[in-house]
Structure 1
Amino acid sequence: MGNKVDGNEMSFLDHLEELRWVLVRSVAAILVGAIVAFIFSDFIFDRLIFLPKTPEFFTNRMLCLLAERLNSPVLCINSTPLSIININMAGQFNTHIMVSVYMGIVLAFPFMVFQFWKFVRPALYDVERKKSRGVVFYISLLFIVGVLFGYFIISPLTIHFLGGYSVSGEVTNQINLGSYIGSVASVTLATGILFELPILVVFLTKAGIVTPMFLRKYRKHTFVVIMSVAAVITPPDILSLLLVTFPLWLLFEASIGLSARLYRRKLKGEGQ
């Protein structure tokens, strides 16, 4: 059932025009979010971006308390604030712009998902629409949970490991502003996207591209892929690797369950 305009089926050009406006509204939402982030730069930088490198950050405080309880100092991370420097004339301004865009994407993400859902929804059958209720909420929720996971778990571990790593006592780490921001932003956005795995599996199952049997057959291969992805977005230490691999693996197992449920419904519907 295709999109309609005034009771008539939309032409290909009408679809392109509608898609163009979806993209325009999405970009406008990112721009609005970026402007808000640019205005509230003190909060964005001092209370969000730079906080994971300080001892006052929630994750750092909890791990240091755990280290004290277990008498294991190695668990205490970022006990000494990391020093950040800027070496480019326009470095701080460019960073301000870049962070504002990143924040604009995060803030506008639910609206963007809603816009694309409005574009796709008229092409679905009534039964498909009913089964897809809440899709915008779940996509947005998984993205936000992924971003929070990357921010509270992966970012402080990355900062602690890479910021304190040294090949020799002769070398002093002076972390560049752009490098620090890039690491935190890439980790948070990457985990936000990776947490969309269940939605991707549901879509592929409904499209008939994958089945639960296929997912179970290649479970071991998927585990290797998940570990490889986790190794790319985390510092090269076993704790960080496991902290990312474990929740992603749980998401994959949940995806198999969702796929199996959808597959049984599909077979039941075909049998009637």
Structure 2
Amino acid sequence: MSKPDHSDEQLVKMSLVEHLSELRKRLIIVAVFFLATSSISFQFVRKIADQLMALGNGFRFVYLAPSELFMQYFYLSIICGVVLTSPVIVYEIWRFICPGLKKQEKRAICYALLSGFAFFALGAVFAYYVMVPIMLQFFLNMSSGISIEPMISFANYVGFISSTILTFGLVFEMPVVVMTLTRLGLLKPKWLTKNRGAAILVIFVVAAIITPPDVVSQTLVAVPMVILYELSVVLSKAIFVRRQNRQQQLEA
């Protein structure tokens, strides 16, 4: 009776061990960069806090617990660490998944990672320099003419700014999501064009939800989102045509 052949099983086990080893290597690199950038950011956290508080000119900031200020400084340093480490995270993700991809898949994933990073950064910058000052000014004006002094917890203030930036960063990912779904064949540009009216209506509803209840703020959010939707339609059409041409060449 012949002995069972365990070569395939051994290859699978070796492959799994190698993948886990590579993943651990990538995670260690990211962790080292994150700890380093967070530690450096903590040395400048007071200047970072001053920059954030400058956006809320007119508010008086307080902290309600003995440890609140320190914890928010720590939280800000972690956020800065994540932001500064994000290029390394994107690069290490790419290095980990790259060996197992085909040439076309490499190109698609590379575009998705780079464009996703760029659009998220664009949304974060838009939120910080445009929307956050407008929203803070709107809320500050609510107290004008009344005897209520605008004092705000520093923890709530930091949470408001970080959540606003995160929201707009995710909103600006719309073209990336559409491009990815089109590449996978799950979305067609015809559907986007056909439902343009409904999409614009949804955009204005979403803009009204995530902004103060005034027309200016809603318009400032809705217009970039509509532009992003139209850009998504153009990109989807280009990818869809290229995908069809590639399939026709393969079938010929």
Length-normalised TM-score, structure 1: 0.77
Deviation at 1:150, TM superposition (A): 0.6
In structure 2, what is the equivalent of residue 32 of structure 1? Answer: 36
Deviation at 1:266, TM superposition (A): 0.8
Q: Distance in 1 between matches of 2:16 and 2:186?
A: 25
In structure 1, what is the equivalent of residue 218 of structure 2? Answer: 241
Alignment of 1:1-272 (within 5 A): 11=15, 14-15=18-19, 18-19=22-23, 21-46=25-50, 48-54=51-57, 81-130=58-107, 135-166=112-143, 169-272=146-249
1:130-150, CA deviations, whole angstroms, 9 ceiling, x for partnerless residues? 465555443322222111101
Q: Distance in 1 between matches of 2:26 and 2:218?
A: 38
1:78-100, CA deviations, whole angstroms, 9 ceiling, x for partnerless residues? xxx32212222111011111111
Q: Distance in 2 between matches of 1:229 and 1:236?
A: 12
After superposition, the Cα gap between the structure-2 partners of 1:131 and 1:85, relative to the gap in structure 1 and judged at 3 Å, is closer
Q: Distance in 1 between matches of 2:206 and 2:133?
A: 19
After superposition, the Cα gap between the structure-2 partners of 1:155 and 1:91, relative to the gap in structure 1 and judged at 3 Å, is same
Q: Distance in 2 between matches of 1:228 and 1:107?
A: 33
After superposition, the Cα gap between the structure-2 partners of 1:222 and 1:118, relative to the gap in structure 1 and judged at 3 Å, is farther
Cα RMSD (Å) of the superposition?
2.7
After superposition, the Cα gap between the structure-2 partners of 1:9 and 1:124, relative to the gap in structure 1 and judged at 3 Å, is farther
- Quick check: 1:197–1:255 contact (8 Å CA) kept in 2? yes
Q: Distance in 2 between matches of 1:187 and 1:193?
A: 10
SS in 2 for 1:50: helix
After superposition, the Cα gap between the structure-2 partners of 1:161 and 1:250, relative to the gap in structure 1 and judged at 3 Å, is same
Structure 1: segments with no counterpart, 5+ residues: 1-6, 55-80
- Identify the structure with the greater helix proportion: 2
- Quick check: 1:227–1:245 contact (8 Å CA) kept in 2? yes
- Work out the number of aligned pairs and report it: 239
Whichever of the two has the greater Rg, that structure is: 2
Q: Distance in 1 between matches of 2:79 and 2:186?
A: 33
After superposition, the Cα gap between the structure-2 partners of 1:195 and 1:26, relative to the gap in structure 1 and judged at 3 Å, is farther
- Quick check: 1:110–1:136 contact (8 Å CA) kept in 2? no
SS in 2 for 1:172: coil
SS in 2 for 1:252: helix
Percent identity among equivalent residues? Answer: 29
Deviation at 1:204, TM superposition (A): 1.0
Q: Distance in 2 between matches of 1:250 and 1:129?
A: 28
After superposition, the Cα gap between the structure-2 partners of 1:29 and 1:216, relative to the gap in structure 1 and judged at 3 Å, is farther
Q: Distance in 2 between matches of 1:150 and 1:227?
A: 17
After superposition, the Cα gap between the structure-2 partners of 1:207 and 1:229, relative to the gap in structure 1 and judged at 3 Å, is same
In structure 2, what is the equivalent of residue 67 of structure 1? Answer: none
